[in-house]
């Protein structure tokens, strides 16, 4: 297994958590196969569904983070489908320590290396928010859309990203620390 990780910056430049009073643990797993059967906007559907679910137990800020992560990561998968007969997997876990979103899909080693390079670039960047700002403005100037998903998760939502590759499958993970009992 190969893996790379990167921390998101908190307001002080370190990875900061979200304080919540709720003690509920939640785990959700969704698998769709074959991926070629997906006709509508699955990213939107899952992001909105999980936002609604988490809204029952947690402050809106937590559900919004999950919504952004699920939407951006699944949109990335759907834009780079390698094998329409393969499966897409989504796992969400919220417990006392963290919220973790994992999205798994079939990918080539080259696709993994490309994603890993982007994660590494974020990891090596002393100021992800500056990188996000500069990239956003450059892409706008060049008339390019999107291309900001992973950067956004780090610079805006302060997720810690990790990517791994095993048995022809790429797993992208976005994690965010939670501080229980101190709302």
Residues making contact with other proteins (CB under 8 A): 40-41, 43-44, 47, 59-61, 64-65, 67-68, 71-72, 75, 129, 132-133, 136, 140, 145-149, 152, 155-158
Of the pair 102, 152, the CB lying nearest other proteins is at 152
Of the pair 51, 163, the CB lying nearest other proteins is at 51
User: Cβ distance 86 to 110 under 8 Å?
Assistant: no
Spell out a b/e string for 164-179, using b for 16 or more CB atoms within 10 Å of the CB, else e. bbeeeebbbbbbbbbe
Minimum CB–partner distance for residue 82 and other proteins (Å):
20
Q: Would the CA dihedral through 103, 45, 52, 68 be positive or negative? A: positive
Nearest to 98 by CA among 11, 13, 162, 150: 162
Minimum CB–partner distance for residue 131 and other proteins (Å):
11
Of the pair 118, 129, the CB lying nearest other proteins is at 129
Element (H, E) at 18: strand 18-20
How far is the C-alpha of 21 from the C-alpha of 24, rounded, in Å?
9
If you ran DSSP here, which 8-state letter would residue 118 be given? H
Of the pair 1, 37, the CB lying nearest other proteins is at 37
């Amino acid at each position: 297994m190969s893996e790379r990780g990167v921390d998101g910056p908190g307001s002080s430049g370190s990875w900061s958590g979200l304080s919540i009073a709720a003690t509920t643990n939640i785990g959700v797993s969704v698998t769709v196969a074959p991926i070629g059967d997906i006709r509508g906007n699955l990213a939107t559907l899952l992001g909105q569904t999980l936002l609604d679910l988490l809204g029952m137990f947690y402050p809106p800020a937590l559900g919004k983070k999950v919504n952004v992560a699920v939407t951006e990561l699944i949109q990335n998968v759907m834009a780079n489908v390698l094998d329409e007969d393969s499966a897409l997997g989504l796992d969400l876990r919220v417990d006392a320590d963290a919220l973790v979103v994992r999205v798994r899909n079939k990918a080539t080693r080259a696709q993994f290396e490309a994603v890993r390079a982007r994660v590494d670039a974020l990891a090596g960047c002393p100021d992800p928010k500056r990188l996000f700002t500069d990239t956003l403005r450059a892409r706008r100037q060049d008339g390019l859309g999107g291309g900001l998903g992973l950067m956004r998760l780090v610079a805006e939502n302060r997720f810690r990203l990790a990517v791994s590759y095993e048995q022809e499958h790429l797993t992208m993970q976005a994690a965010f620390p939670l501080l229980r009992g101190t709302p």
